[in-house]
Amino acid sequence: MAELKVLFKDIDVPGIQTLEVYEQHGGYSALRKALGMTRQQVIDEVKASGLRGRGGAGFPAWIKWNGIPKDESQPHYVQCNADEGEPGTFKDRELMLRHPHQLIEGIIIAGYATLSKVGYIYIRGEYTEPARVMRRAIDEAYRAGYLGKNILGSGVDFDLYIHMGAGSYECGEESAMMSSIMGERGQPRLKFPHAPLPTIAGLWNCPTLINNVETLSCVPAIIRNGGAWYASMGTEKSTGTKIFSVSGHVNKPGNYEVEMGTPLMELLELAGGVKGKLKAVIPGGSSVPILPADKCDVNLDYESLQAAGTMLGSGGFMVLNDTVCIVKFMRRTAAFYAHESCGKCTPCREGTRWMVKIFDRILAGGGRMEDIDLLLDICDQIDGRSYCALGDAAAWPIRASIKHFRHEYEYFIKHGHSMVEAQAEHSVGGR
Ligand SMILES: Cc1cc2nc3c(=O)[nH]c(=O)nc-3n(C[C@H](O)[C@H](O)[C@H](O)COP(=O)(O)O)c2cc1C
Ligand code: SF4
């Protein structure tokens, strides 16, 4: 059991944030190689790698890249999603803070392959330090001729800008992010098939490639070593490695890069083991269904986690031990989505707030047994009926928590207090 480092391979090298040290470790050799390839060859290499988007949905990267029109009748853009608002996720922060040139190199290669001359990195507002590091690295890359006009004498131009968010989770949703970059209110746009894909009509209605920080950071290693090399790691459909941000009740919280398909329990061991008795894991950020301990014998890849009733999501891996009251935990989760709901559509705007009110009633000791089915009913009214996936994300965790921990809800309603806290008091009193 060990980490398998592709993105983090050189992350501990002193000074790797600087261009000089990055170049000493092969930095920008992938860009040089890519510029000697045709654009289609670069896209084909990404296809061969099997790389899937690491922002949450796991969409094959090459399909987006290939979907950008191959003519230059309009400007094309690259939009790097560094909003990282998903609770429990902090990997993009580390990739920017400690390995900025790897990301910049990946973005320039993506720009070359998609005929884009301009890229934006949309960084969440709270990430002031990663933004500072990225700015410094971008300046270095400009001075060395990796950015700007006629990159390395190739005739290729590419400019890269940082756009800071202002603390909105919804602005991590790719179409709300486009609105935000364009100076509009950060709300989502109508989606395909009711509207064109961003690859056809994205920023300023021009073709736009949108990828997450981790996705784009994978690109230099893929071009340097070949797509087949990357695809030789992981499983057939979930290739390569994945960074999991492990938090909660473990002895060594942090970011761990492991091969896709690694058993969940091995990741827990890497993170120093569970503090106390394992109760549940939320493997992909707060939006994905909770996995109770008896279902944790599962591998960490897209397919295995889906078969287990949850998702890989963004890799925000939250560990809960048996001191956690699920009802209180889910109230906190529901409050997050209610707060972040942008208000554009009724099921999410109203439904998330109703859920919080019902949780508050239960927590105040005034719950009714019907409240459990009422919560489920609201989940059904939000899920699949909302304008964007934030609504679905608000419903899934609550529904899964009732499926797996209904007895805790029933106990809370019947007794007016938490089952877990009552058990803890009982065990202290019994000593
Ligand atoms: C409410 C909401 C918030 C999101 N937040 C993020 C985020 O912070 N970072 C991210 O990369 N993707 C986020 N996504 C997913 C993006 O919409 C998009 O799928 C992703 O940036 C595409 O990149 P990828 O294909 O490389 O994964 C979010 C989606 C939703 C619905
Ligand atoms: S689901 Fe609707 S209200 Fe909720 S964030 Fe998306 S557009 Fe806004």
Q: What is the pLDDT of residues 103-161, one digit of tens each?
A: 999 999 999 999 999 999 999 999 999 999 999 999 999 999 999 999 999 999 999 99
Q: Where in the chain is the domain with CATH 1.20.1440.230?
A: 326-427
pLDDT of residue 418: 95
β-sheet bridge partners, residue 212: 81
C-alpha 55 – ligand 1 centre gap (Å): 5
Tokens encoding 22: 């990055």
Exposed/middle/buried for residue 429 (C-beta within 10 Å: 0-12, 13-18, 19+): exposed
What mean pLDDT do residues 170-199 have? 96
Per-residue tokens: 220: 């230099």
68, 294 Cβ separation under 8 angstroms: no
Q: What is the rounded average pLDDT of the residues 305-321?
A: 97
The pLDDT value given to residue 429 = 62
Q: Is 287 in the pocket of ligand 2 (CB under 6 A)?
A: no
CA distance 239 to 228: 10
Inter-CA distances, 290 with 213, 272, 305, Å:
25, 21, 11
Ligand 2 centroid–CA 346 distance in Å is: 8
Q: Is the pLDDT at 78 greater than 80, yes or no?
A: yes
pLDDT of 428 over the 90 cut? no
For the cut 60, the answer to whether the pLDDT of residue 335 exceeds it is yes
| Ligand 2 contact via 171 beta carbon (within 6 Å) | no
Residue with tokens 């920008």: 28
Q: What is the pLDDT of residue 220?
A: 98
Question: Which of these, 320, 298, 323, lies nearest to 308 by C-alpha position?
Answer: 298
Distance 323 CA to ligand 1 centre (A): 31
The CATH number of the structural domain formed by 243-321 is 3.10.20.600
Q: Which of 37, 39, 63, 40 is nearest to 51 (CA)?
A: 63
Q: Within 10 Å of residue 67's Cβ, how many Cβ atoms?
A: 15
What average pLDDT does the chain have?
A: 96
The pLDDT of residue 8 is above 90: yes
**Tokens 């005739």 found at:** 155
The CATH-assigned architecture of domain 326-427 is Up-down Bundle (1.20)
Share of the chain above pLDDT 90, in %: 96
User: What does the pLDDT read at residue 426?
Assistant: 79
Residue 2 pLDDT: 74
Considering only CA atoms, give the Rg of the chain: 22
- % pLDDT > 70, the chain: 99
Q: Is 387 in the pocket of ligand 2 (CB under 6 A)?
A: yes
Report which of 404, 332, 328 is spatially closest to residue 367, judged by C-alpha positions.
328
Q: Using a 6 Å CB cutoff, which residues line ligand 1?
A: 53-57, 59, 81, 83-86, 169-170, 172-174, 210-212, 215, 388-390
Average pLDDT over residues 189-209: 96
The pLDDT tens digits for 390-412 are: 999 999 999 999 999 999 999 99
Q: Where in the chain is the domain with CATH 3.10.20.600?
A: 243-321
| Predicted TM-score (pTM) above 0.95 | yes
pLDDT tens for 24-67 read 999 999 999 999 999 999 999 999 999 999 999 999 999 999 99
Is-contact 408 325, C-beta < 8 A? yes
Domain 19-231 of CATH type 2.60.40.1190: no
408 CA distance to ligand 2 centroid (A)? Answer: 29
Residue of 337, 390, 396 to mutate, ligand 2, most atoms within 8 A of C-beta: 390
Contact 342, 352 (CB under 8 A): no
pLDDT at 430: 53
Residues near 412 by Cβ (< 8 Å), separated by ≥ 6?
A: 325, 327, 362, 363, 367, 418, 419
pLDDT of residue 254: 98
Give, using CA atoms, the residue closest to atom 28 of ligand 1: 173
Give the residue whose CA is nearest to atom 6 of ligand 2: 388
Ligand nearest to the CA of 173: 1
For position 102, what pLDDT does the model report?
98
Residue 427 is predicted with a pLDDT of 78
